[in-house]
Structure 1
């Protein structure tokens, strides 16, 4: 009976690498098969969008505590995001760039861990956090630029207006922000405490 089951399973492409008589398990073939059936292009981007939208809807309670409504909206937005080829391509580019940035940040953390003393650790943590934020901005701009968004005629005509609006928004945020005691980071206060 087990021979019949082995023959049935080995006839299916997804289980062929598990055949004990085929020479062992080949992880590379499994990844190629997942790529061919759309796990990386369809399923994982759908799962990511679904999870993020569901988490946002559940935590903000914009639509109340109705989990069914949150699931349906998350499902629809996840399916829409997978349907559009542009979104799938953007996910592929941005996560590849984030992988490179995270690898560089990990190397920086390892090197600072080797050379940093206990006394200067707080300053180094702030520096590494700042480098991480700059890396995030660079990855976002690089990912957006790979689709020639910044090379379009609209950006070439209006980049200065966008810059002035951004500067005005930052200044307005500083002017309207409530006055707080020195050293208080506002909503980022828990992060500041962890950095200390």
Structure 2
């Protein structure tokens, strides 16, 4: 049996002292909440020497408390750890896809998605993100604890021929149909309007 490397033992030590279960989720939640509060200025601003500054003390305190509340819940920490790992995997897949596309382009050509392709890939990423979160969230059912994604899929399979499932499918089709009907006749902005009418 191969001996454990030094770096692997260090990672195991980090796991034992709670780096991955406490410190990293705390820093992640604190950073995201603090950045949102700073950007949106929800808690107001203060004026110092004629310049407006965000209330960093309030923003940091709210972010600190929210991060601690998240870390206190083992279930939330588990969801964060699972989803972040899968989100990074999704990001690697998209970057790898762009690398493969880029191999067919010249050096001076930009690799980017435009029009319908960009919309399709954006919606694809959104669906994949929702599936990642649904797979990470676990719920209590009559048969025990289940992942939300598994429960949803089994519910669809078991109740596929019922009236309410048919009603949901019909509602989705009607909403999609109405969306395309409404957007079909909408005029697009001209370049003159985008510049502000100059």
Q: By the TM > 0.5 criterion, same fold?
A: yes
Residue 118 of structure 1, CA deviation: 7.0
Question: 2:135 aligned with 1:145, yes or no?
Answer: yes
Q: Deviations over 1:37-85 (max 9, x none)?
A: 1111111111111111111111111111321111111011000111111
TM, length-normalised to structure 2: 0.61
Residue in 2 that maps onto 1:131: 121
Decide whether aligned partners of structure 1 residues 143 and 100 sit closer, same or farther in structure 2, where only a CA change above 3 A counts.
same
Q: How many residues align?
A: 154
Output the aligned Cα RMSD: 3.8
Where structure 2 has 5 or more consecutive residues not aligned to the other structure, the ranges are 46-54, 139-146
Question: 2:180 aligned with 1:181, yes or no?
Answer: no
* 1:31 aligned to which of 3, 7, 11: 11
Residue in 1 that maps onto 2:98: 109
TM, length-normalised to structure 1: 0.61
Larger helix percent: 1
Superposition pairs of residues 47-58 of structure 1, within 5 angstroms: 47-58=27-38
Q: Deviations over 1:97-116 (max 9, x none)?
A: 11221221121111111113
> How far apart, CA to CA, are the structure 2 residues paired with 1:163 and 1:96?
36
Where structure 1 has 5 or more consecutive residues not aligned to the other structure, the ranges are 1-24, 187-196
Q: Work out whether residues 46 and 78 of structure 1, in 8 Å CA contact, stay in contact via their aligned partners in 2.
A: yes
> How far apart, CA to CA, are the structure 2 residues paired with 1:162 and 1:67?
48
Q: Work out whether residues 63 and 70 of structure 1, in 8 Å CA contact, stay in contact via their aligned partners in 2.
A: yes
Larger strand percent: 2
* 1:83 aligned to which of 72, 76, 81: 72
